[in-house]
Structure 1
């Protein structure tokens, strides 16, 4: 499990966007960056700066996963047939922690990583505690029986700030979800605009 070096909302502040669409995000009150120089007017970003920002935003969305992991995901996306930006999104959304988050079993993607890591999740009846585990179409993800009454889980199910996307079928009465298909960019309900094409440009320089 890669260590998250910065507080989750610091990612929001750094990007200047509420990337998870959460009501508690400080960007809702302060759109400038963190730190004593955060309010200074920012200069125009170079093409490299724009690409880097797109990469940081997408990487940060998935729990600020490590650069090594993220680059490995990009490299796999380039090896696959089809559109590389769509492949990249599909691979990121296939992560077990991402599926647990999208199914609304937990309130945040950071909680999803911890939830999986602590062994609360079954995939096709087997316990999996690797957040980066890649789900396949048809996989059934389930919260362990002992964890179904977890307060965080019960609260997450009731969250009105986001819906379960149509590439996941969730049954919250049984705390199960089926990963129906690998999504493309247009299927994913990001709270802000993600630009995986710029991420591809960043790495292919």
Structure 2
């Protein structure tokens, strides 16, 4: 998998939560953080600490996006009309890797990134290999014909671990997904509580 694949569960351990809701997560057995100091008693977080943690959790959930890229998404959300936290979630859920993951074409968001980078995905009939590509309502995402029988894809589509949200219409027989609308925060099936309002507070300090 991608470079981050081998360390992705450290995000779970650091947060003390199973942020992807996966049964393999070590956070299910060890709620303390990774490393030799992970079991130290944790003090009460400051307001800044709470905001930072909320940002790290949301950023980590989407494949541990780089800080530069995540800040860019926030800046775009703040320029848009309406609630910035809702805009932030809408932009993150419009990412191609997020939609490939939501459509259950792959088992994890990390796998989605590599799957896209290796050219297995088309958008409206054209191959796209940029994970952060912004999808618009009505766009059709499909797995390339040669990639439909990959073990990774078959495993993901048959998994009962999670459901496809209602803002994506999926046909697993044809391996296509249509992005029907930009979701609101309450529409997104996060396995744990996300707090985009605290992320907005963090960046607007």
- The TM tier, using the shorter chain, reads over 0.9
Per-residue CA deviations over 1:145-195 (Å, capped at 9, x if unaligned) read: 000000000000011111000000010000000000000100000000000
| Equivalent pairs, count | 204
Alpha-carbon offset, residue 5 of structure 1: 9.0
Unmatched segments (≥5 aa) in structure 1: none
Q: Aligned residue for 2:100?
A: 100
Alpha-carbon offset, residue 36 of structure 1: 1.3
| In structure 1, distance between residues paired with 2:103 and 2:41 | 39
Q: Aligned residue for 2:144?
A: 144
Unmatched segments (≥5 aa) in structure 2: none
Alpha-carbon offset, residue 79 of structure 1: 0.3
Pairing 1:1-205 to 2, within 5 Å after superposition: 4=4, 7-205=7-205
RMSD of aligned alpha carbons: 1.2
Runs of 4+ in 1 over 2 A off after TM superposition: 2-6
Asked if the contact 1:97–1:113 (Cα under 8 Å) also holds between the matched residues in 2, the reply is yes
Normalization by structure 2: what TM-score?
0.98
Asked if the contact 1:138–1:181 (Cα under 8 Å) also holds between the matched residues in 2, the reply is yes
